[in-house]
Structure 1
Amino acid sequence: MRDRTMQITIRGHHLTITPAIEENIKSKFGEMTKHLDQVNSMQVKLSKDHQIDKRTHKGSSNHIAEAIVRLPGIELFAQASADDMYTSIKKLSEKLKRQLQKHRKIQCTYQQVIVPI
């Protein structure tokens, strides 16, 4: 069994990617290769959306995390948002894990139908 490392590209929009955020992303998404070793690459986009309430004139920040996971023949997309960047990254990783598990289940079912035993 060969060791595959997944290429993770991290981009920030209206925020700076700190080493702590980068390490958090790599630890959360690096384990996705355990779920499915066919993952070729992943793009993660982190952004910060400033919203101002018109009545109170107070601002709030919404942290958004998006990811595209490339598999042979398919791309998976997920998006999550929260008040904290680390929370949005955690929600995003959970969404992608569910999508990967669903994809793996479909692949196993498809292979069982195609290949007679």
Structure 2
Amino acid sequence: MQITIRGHHLSITPAIEDNIRAQFFQLTKHLDQVSSMQVKLSKDHQVDKRSKKGSSNHIAEAIIRVPGAELFAQATADDMYSSIKKMTEKLKRQLEKYRESKLEYQVAVP
């Protein structure tokens, strides 16, 4: 399985990369059909005028390619680790749905 991690307006630190790889390993532990994953992390530099902070400005996006489908998830949060966690939770739900549909198809087709 190939994992591509890139940053936009953000440098990818080894800690962030290790976090992503660990989260995706947990996701795909029971599903060996994943061929590739692309992760894009970005930071929006707009600042809220009232609070002088960026609200939900860390964005994590991922595309997972499995046979017959492409799964996409995007999440935003105040820090990068939270957005990565939210994104992996969304992907987990999609992978479970994909796995269930494949199992139903295998049972229906003799």
The answer to whether TM tops 0.5 is yes
Aligned pair partner of 1:58 in 48, 52, 58: 52
Q: CA deviation at 1:111?
A: 1.2
CA distance in 2, matches of 1:104, 1:29: 16
Q: Deviations over 1:90-117 (max 9, x none)?
A: 11111111100000001111111112xx
In the superposition, relative to structure 1, how do residues 50 and 110 fare at CA in structure 2: closer, same or farther (>3 Å)?
same
What CA distance in whole angstroms lies between the structure 1 residues aligned with 2:89 and 2:48?
Answer: 30
Greater share of residues in strand: 1
- Aligned residues: percent identity? 71
Give the structure 1 partner of residue 15 of structure 2. Answer: 20
Where structure 1 has 5 or more consecutive residues not aligned to the other structure, the ranges are: 1-5
TM-score by length of 1: 0.86
Which stretches in structure 2 are left out of the alignment for 5+ residues? none
* Structure 1 residue 98 corresponds to structure 2 residue 86: no
Tell me the equivalent position of 2:103.
108
Partner of 2:33: 38
The secondary structure found in structure 2 opposite 1:31 is: helix
1:3: which partner in 2? none
* Cα distance, 1:21 vs structure 2: 0.3
Name the CA distance, whole Å, in 1 between partners of 2:22 and 2:39: 13
- Count residues with an aligned counterpart: 109
TM-score by length of 2: 0.92
- Aligned-residue Cα RMSD (Å) equals 1.4
4+ residue runs of structure 1 moved beyond 6 angstroms?
none
